[in-house]
Structure 1
Amino acid sequence: MLFSTLAIASLAASVFALPSSQEHFAAAPAAHSDGTDITTYAQYSANWAGAALRGHAGTIKEVTATIKIPTIHRPVDQPDGEYNASIWLGVDGDTCSSASARIGLDVTVNASGVIGQGWYSSNPGRRSYLTGPFNAGDSVKLRVTVNNATSGSLSMLLSDETNGKGASIGLSSSVPLCAQDALWVVEDPERNGALEPLADFTSVLFDTATVTLTTGEKIGPQGARAIEMYQGRAITYVDVQPSSVRITYL
């Protein structure tokens, strides 16, 4: 669930032409508080940080990236306890709010250390967990493939290339997919309607981030809208590059 967002006022320098290989996409305009659309290429969220690439309905076939599980920490000046961060990628769930498909890891730090738990979801809020644990420093490949948007047929992959763990999953969403949003996100997880304490995740890099279009063309995240996390202060800095998305904890 993406909490309500506050749009960042756009700068004149934000107006740019996308490369021809990304002609299907434009940075999605954020919703203004009065319901109108304004042209802006970043927004604030209470619980998401990352990048969102928007296409026309039925445009996106597959979203992939490789991450390194971070060694997360208790934030400075925060009390002892459990702190969390969720790292995932997916299709839909941004401009298309009716359905989503996601796969990723929940990373937790407490008195026992750092542990990662793999999961996937074909509907917001309904996660299925994978056999783990997955460890800090592991290199993990993530992939969501839309086999048929109308029927909701999906394939997902979480492959820990360090220890050989992971799963390849075939499933169906209970509702049709729009196949129009590609997302790479670090999330402050929600439990019982409230945000959990967010860990200091230092930096998360979605490397070799790729979107495969239904035409077969492959593009990167360049031109995606950056989503910055704000919780009374700016929590993150997002850097979107032609083949990667880096989210840095401030």
Structure 2
Amino acid sequence: MKISAIFSITLFAVSAFAAPHSNGGHARRLERRTAREIRTTNPLKVIGSTDALPDTNATEVEYSSNWAGAVLTAPPAGETFNSVSGQFVVPTPSVPQGGRGGKYSAAIWVGIDGDTYGNAIWQSGIDISVSGSQISFDVWYEWLPSPSYDIQGFSISAGDIIIITVSSSSKSEGSVTLENISTGQSVTQSASAPNSNAVLGGQNVEWIIEDFDVGGSQVPFADFGTVLFTNAVASTSSQSVGTDDAVIIEMKDSNGNILTNVSLPNSSEIKIVYK
């Protein structure tokens, strides 16, 4: 089912309305689809786990082939998550050491579900890419299993401070809001579950860097430097919680090399470093 949505952009005190797919981003999407290269996020792919170190506020460390970051795997007793947010500085991607030519990318996002509850993920984030000397950024939202959709008119550059909030008003309806603190822009996008099997459970929230898929395969993974999520908070209908008792997720490549170093400096931060 095609997602229908209302898209709004606010730039300082000026407001405008536009369709979510137009201009350059729409052309890129059409190019991907023509080449059968549709960008998608995948649920967490776990390839191992271990107990967290006793001096951290994490409960466990998991190893994944596609995610790095932190996840709350259960809401407070008797409740469900309906919102998650985080703030970060847009990094400058680079080709990893030993990397060859071509394009390297990574996604930075926050979302609801997709870990222990794998039926759906409602999420929003940015893609950072490097190809030779060219750096590019894309802004998107996605309700898995539908592919991601570009958000147009929301400009970002390396060094900008971004806040992303993902919310659900019901199991099948939600909105995302992105704010660029550095430029004063904000954008809100609404969407619906793509089908009746993709409703939210409200069981997980995440702050993630991902090696996402294009055309059914993971893209070459960019060196993202360091990403520090601050003001990380998740909410239910009655309370807000931080990252205490989160599960840390480290990314491993196909050779078993750990590509990231994830830590929780305090109850509202997640630090993800490319090793």
TM-score, with length taken from structure 1: 0.83
Residue 113 (structure 1) shift? 2.4
For residues 167 and 114 of structure 1, the distance between their equivalents in structure 2, rounded to whole angstroms, comes to 23
Residue 2 (structure 1) shift? 3.4
SS of 1:8's equivalent in the other structure is strand
In structure 2, the partner of 1:198 is: 221
Deviation readout 1:26-85 (Å, 9 max, x if unpaired) = 95xxxxxxxxxxxxx111101110011022575112100111110111111211221101
Task: Tell whether the 8 Å contact from 1:2 to 1:45 is kept in structure 2 after alignment.
Answer: no
Change (3 A) 1:166 1:112: farther
Equivalent AA in structure 1 for residue 189 of structure 2: I
Question: Is residue 2:68 matched to residue 1:49?
Answer: yes
Q: Determine which of 60, 76, 90 is the counterpart of 2:81.
A: 60
Q: Determine which of 226, 229, 250 is the counterpart of 2:251.
A: 229
For residues 185 and 129 of structure 2, the distance between their equivalents in structure 1, rounded to whole angstroms, comes to 18
SS of 1:136's equivalent in the other structure is coil
Equivalent AA in structure 2 for residue 104 of structure 1: G
In structure 2, the partner of 1:115 is: 136
For residues 210 and 11 of structure 1, the distance between their equivalents in structure 2, rounded to whole angstroms, comes to 21
Change (3 A) 1:77 1:177: same
* Structure 1 unmatched ranges of 5 or more: 19-25, 28-40
After the TM superposition, which residues 60-79 of structure 1 pair with which residues of structure 2 at under 5 Å, given as runs? Answer: 60-79=81-100
Task: Tell whether the 8 Å contact from 2:44 to 2:114 is kept in structure 1 after alignment.
Answer: no
In structure 2, the partner of 1:238 is: 262
In structure 2, the partner of 1:83 is: 104
Question: Is residue 2:183 matched to residue 1:163?
Answer: yes
Change (3 A) 1:195 1:130: same
For residues 62 and 129 of structure 1, the distance between their equivalents in structure 2, rounded to whole angstroms, comes to 21
SS of 2:233's equivalent in the other structure is strand
Task: Tell whether the 8 Å contact from 2:43 to 2:118 is kept in structure 1 after alignment.
Answer: no
In structure 1, the partner of 2:199 is: 176
For residues 73 and 112 of structure 1, the distance between their equivalents in structure 2, rounded to whole angstroms, comes to 9
Residue 4 (structure 1) shift? 3.2
For residues 108 and 12 of structure 1, the distance between their equivalents in structure 2, rounded to whole angstroms, comes to 33
Change (3 A) 1:157 1:202: same
Higher relative contact order (CA 8 A, sep 6+): 2
TM-score, with length taken from structure 2: 0.76
Task: Tell whether the 8 Å contact from 1:85 to 1:187 is kept in structure 2 after alignment.
Answer: yes
Change (3 A) 1:72 1:8: same
Indicate the RMSD between aligned Cα atoms, in angstroms. Answer: 2.1
In structure 1, the partner of 2:5 is: none
Equivalent AA in structure 2 for residue 137 of structure 1: G
Aligned length: 225
SS of 1:135's equivalent in the other structure is coil
